[in-house]
Structure 1
Amino acid sequence: MRGIISTAGYVPYHRLQRQAISAVFKGAPGKGSRAVASYDEDTTTLGVEAARFALRAAPADTQPAALWFATADPAYLDKTNATAIHAALRLDVATPAIDMGGAVRSGVGALRTALEGRGPVLVVTSDTRNGAPTGADESSGGDGAAAALVGDDSDGPVIAEYLGAASATEEFIDRWRTPGDRVSKVWEERFGETQYLPLAEQAWNGALKAAGLSPEQIDLLIVTGLHTRAVRSLGGRLGASNAATVDDLSATVGNTGTAQPLLLLTSALEKAEPGQVIALVVLADGVEVLLFRATDALQSYRPARPVATQVGAGGDVEYGKFLAWRGMVTLERPRRPEPDRISASATGRNTEWKYGFVGSRDRSTGALHLPPARVSRDGDAQDDMEPAPMADVPGTIASITVDRIAYSPSPPIVFAVVDFDGGGRHAVELTDTDVGSLEVGDRVEMTFRRLFTADGIHNYFWKARPIRA
């Protein structure tokens, strides 16, 4: 049996209330909210968080033999983005990390390819959706990521058995964005609907035939895609009369594009019962239909951080700040030097610390050093250290300071000295919080973020955020 061993979504903390858009531009009041990646998040950092949650829920002895990363909004072109995720997860150097991106369809494509392959594969999908101010994409889009560890039952308990799939592909112009453009362009909706619906019916029938199922045997139905009109029209045409439609999270998160299929599948599995058949229908430059059956292993499966929990733990961001974070408006920069680009050679010497947040522990005294050191502060032992991974270790705030002078893409900077559980202390930057909202004694956890970008090079490192769930 092959299928999904563990899966997780990541929904950023910040929310943009749609009525905040209409309040500025005096349009029709929108309902609900969309998830917003913070100024220090991009598709790579979002993907790291989803992958961490997925691996945390997987059996400890199951390690991916490959990492595939799909996004329509990569942080780099030419350079592989999956390698940063690989480094943050501290995967084995022999584990390949490959980008499968450039289009929204690449997310479900990476998932299907892994399901029809061999060995344990970690599939990571991520996206940040942009739109012109007051446009439909701005309000209906969302930022987020999802990851799944795919494998055989010999790799670990399979919680969702892969039953089969089918595709229907045809070239037509529906949505496009050329390199350098910030937002997508969309053709007239009725045309896209006439293209998608017959393709969807063809792929639907093909998938059911491949799995030996009838429409009435579908218990949970997921229909997703960026073409809202076609998605809404399709649901009643599939004949799945007994199926419950899975919440598309449009009212709380928005459409996360490349990540949406796996994010909704993750959400569905968090509520599914063993034996239920789940159909995933994805409209994106054609149609992909994937069928799964929840297994008995789902009863004992515990997600690291359920999607519903993350959805309920968000905090609002002002519309003006959202526009600034997205580069839609240009704010006056602080009158101080911007940071220099990071050194590739220095980064190469400190990959475990910079990407993996790995300190060192003195074997003789147990003293923990952050950053790693060769000489122990206790007893002066030299080169007698063992690696101490700290990315998943929570901590407690010992002191807080607010710096309104140092450079930041979104000032001010809030720093904290954190005492980690089990030993170790380090000064870190706080994120996903407001000035004055945290106090000494509050609990925090580490999160992978982008400190700044200089000369086109992203400086990734770890920050601390409040433990909310």
Structure 2
Amino acid sequence: MTAELVSYAAYLPTYRLAPEDIGGRVGGADRVVASFDEDSTTIAVEAASAASAEQYVPATVYFASSSHAYADKTNAVAVHAALGLPSDVFCADFGGTGKSSMAAIRCAAESGGMAVMSDVRTGRPGSSDERSGGDGGAAFVFAETTEQGTGIAALLSTASSTLEFLDRWRDPASIGGSQWEERYGQEEYTPLIAEVQRRALAAAGVDAPDHVVLTSPNSGIRKRLTALASGTVSTVTSTLGFSGAADVGIALAEVLDSAAPGETVLVLSAVDGCDALVLRVLPGIVNHRARRPVAEQRSGGHRISYLTYLSWRGLLDREPPRRPEPDRPAAPPSGRATAWKFAFVGSGCDRCGFVHLPPARVCRGCGSVDSMHPESRRGARGTVATSTIDRLAFSPSPPVVEAVVDFDGGGRYSLEVADGAASSVTVGSRVELSFRRLFTAGGVHNYFWKARPVSEGRSAVEESV
């Protein structure tokens, strides 16, 4: 039995590139850019954390990306660990193209699981990938609901048409992809889109969808959006431009942000063929929309310079910090501290309630030994007790801003600050946790949590270095 969609969320990184810096028109939309300490895994954790619903534990976690942080290692396992899920939850990666995200959604719907998709799109300087790409992620949780009115959407039908032709490709060792002349791909995709949407709508018993989501790496398809498929209420593609495997998820999340109960959504992904989903929005959407709509995230952000962007992507060698580079994280200590490192789980004293970050055996409050229970602060916010700027510590983007944070519910810890200039954090500032990559050494990514300033309602684009 196919489960219902019960929760969803999208995540767009904070930083932006001005369109005129990358060959776009003045006044056009900024490019969404992942920070130097973000990759497809950290973006997936952000989206999955926002989509997590306490009453639903996914049976599976499927992670789709065309820019996985690791090869020969399951990246979905890091998402699983960061969410603090039980060990019997099955995890797997889906890789390669935007088609993988449709596969993840279909498998999650069948298994009552979570589909997560994210990408960091890097193109050659001056390329269309650089101009029209975007970084981001989305997550969708499916479950068999027992309580009336809790489901967000029901999957009515699916349809697919697969065709081998050369439209877009990338050598695994290349930083950017290549694309054949767009008119060739457009001519191949056009009849496939018409056929697949006809079959999907017929199987769902829907004459005309209220909303249509159509995504494709082919720019010619995106330009002819409303000519190829049209919804009675809205017809959209991803607001980021082409965002790889995250493309269809971000576009679907934006539609769900405003769709009304009873409306239908046709999702079309034209990648190496065409795949379709037809969803009917359920009454639960009214009370279970994403906490941060896609449009709100898209409108805000910090602008960075083009040189900073190139440096973050490894396309420009800047003078490195005059400090020794960090050592590669060792497997045994990392394995022993998985709950702390990935899910930010400390310990609480059973006798006095003192919360220890990181976990401890001896209570600093009452001195009791081995009388502890796990205390997670992964979703907690906190208040900055004090902060400092470290201009000597190693960082790919110095200086390092450190803050001592007092967490709501107990616990104090010193964390690096993400997504903010030094002036954005002062004593009393409110912060939340964000999963980031501290550094990479010896091919090993050292993931941990940083403090991110809480910016309620900010929509203006702010300049930062």
Is the TM-score greater than 0.5? yes
Instruction: Give the distance between the partners of 1:36 and 1:346, measured in 2 at CA.
Output: 33
Instruction: Give the distance between the partners of 1:310 and 1:241, measured in 2 at CA.
Output: 24
Name the structure 2 match of 1:170.
163
Instruction: Give the distance between the partners of 1:90 and 1:237, measured in 2 at CA.
Output: 43
Instruction: Give the distance between the partners of 1:455 and 1:388, measured in 2 at CA.
Output: 32
Name the structure 2 match of 1:19.
20
Instruction: Give the distance between the partners of 1:270 and 1:81, measured in 2 at CA.
Output: 28
Name the structure 1 match of 2:153.
160
Instruction: Give the distance between the partners of 1:28 and 1:467, measured in 2 at CA.
Output: 32
Name the structure 1 match of 2:418.
431
Q: Which secondary structure does the structure 1 equivalent of 2:374 belong to?
A: strand
2:245 equivalent to 1:246: no
2:191 equivalent to 1:204: no
2:175 equivalent to 1:192: no
Deviations 1:191-242 (A, max 9, x none): 111111111111111111211222xx2111111111111233253134x463
Name the structure 1 match of 2:60.
66
Q: Is the 8 A contact 1:231 1:283 kept in 2?
A: no
2:281 equivalent to 1:288: no
Deviations 1:175-206 (A, max 9, x none): 11111110001111111111111111111111
Name the structure 2 match of 1:108.
102
Name the structure 2 match of 1:46.
43
2:292 maps to amino acid: R
Instruction: Give the distance between the partners of 2:231 and 2:332, measured in 1 at CA.
Output: 60
Q: Which secondary structure does the structure 2 equivalent of 1:236 belong to?
A: helix
Aligned positions of 1:226-305 closer than 5 A: 226-238=217-229, 240=230, 242-246=232-236, 248-249=238-239, 253-305=240-292
433, 437, 454: which one aligns with 2:441:
454
Count of aligned pairs between the two proteins: 454
- Structure 1 residues 178 and 443 mapped into 2: Cα distance closer, same or farther (>3 Å)? same
1:318 maps to amino acid: S
Q: Is the 8 A contact 2:41 2:118 kept in 1?
A: yes
Instruction: Give the distance between the partners of 1:98 and 1:45, measured in 2 at CA.
Output: 16
2:381 equivalent to 1:394: yes
Name the structure 1 match of 2:368.
381
Name the structure 1 match of 2:322.
335
Q: Is the 8 A contact 1:62 1:155 kept in 2?
A: no
Instruction: Give the distance between the partners of 1:432 and 1:180, measured in 2 at CA.
Output: 29
Q: Which secondary structure does the structure 2 equivalent of 1:461 belong to?
A: strand
Q: Is the 8 A contact 2:8 2:289 kept in 1?
A: no
TM-score (norm 2): 0.95
Instruction: Give the distance between the partners of 1:151 and 1:391, measured in 2 at CA.
Output: 23
Q: Which secondary structure does the structure 2 equivalent of 1:8 belong to?
A: strand
Q: Which secondary structure does the structure 1 equivalent of 2:447 belong to?
A: strand
Shift of residue 166, structure 1, vs aligned partner:
0.6
2:430 equivalent to 1:443: yes
138, 146, 153: which one aligns with 2:130:
138
Instruction: Give the distance between the partners of 1:148 and 1:241, measured in 2 at CA.
Output: 22
Cα RMSD for the two superposed structures: 1.6
Q: Which secondary structure does the structure 2 equivalent of 1:100 belong to?
A: strand
Name the structure 2 match of 1:181.
174
Instruction: Give the distance between the partners of 2:256 and 2:25, measured in 1 at CA.
Output: 35
- Structure 1 residues 226 and 275 mapped into 2: Cα distance closer, same or farther (>3 Å)? same
Name the structure 2 match of 1:10.
11
- Structure 1 residues 182 and 427 mapped into 2: Cα distance closer, same or farther (>3 Å)? same
2:212 equivalent to 1:221: yes
90, 111, 116: which one aligns with 2:84:
90
Instruction: Give the distance between the partners of 2:431 and 2:233, measured in 1 at CA.
Output: 41
Instruction: Give the distance between the partners of 1:403 and 1:66, measured in 2 at CA.
Output: 41
Instruction: Give the distance between the partners of 1:416 and 1:351, measured in 2 at CA.
Output: 23
- Structure 1 residues 308 and 237 mapped into 2: Cα distance closer, same or farther (>3 Å)? closer
Instruction: Give the distance between the partners of 1:191 and 1:314, measured in 2 at CA.
Output: 36
Q: Is the 8 A contact 2:389 2:400 kept in 1?
A: yes
Q: Is the 8 A contact 1:74 1:81 kept in 2?
A: yes
345, 358, 373: which one aligns with 1:358:
345
Q: Is the 8 A contact 2:211 2:231 kept in 1?
A: no
Q: Is the 8 A contact 1:35 1:254 kept in 2?
A: no
Instruction: Give the distance between the partners of 2:101 and 2:117, measured in 1 at CA.
Output: 6
Shift of residue 254, structure 1, vs aligned partner:
3.0
- Structure 1 residues 465 and 426 mapped into 2: Cα distance closer, same or farther (>3 Å)? same
Shift of residue 71, structure 1, vs aligned partner:
0.2
2:67 maps to amino acid: D
Instruction: Give the distance between the partners of 2:72 and 2:323, measured in 1 at CA.
Output: 32
Instruction: Give the distance between the partners of 2:231 and 2:172, measured in 1 at CA.
Output: 42
2:29 maps to amino acid: G
Q: Which secondary structure does the structure 1 equivalent of 2:36 belong to?
A: coil
Name the structure 2 match of 1:149.
141
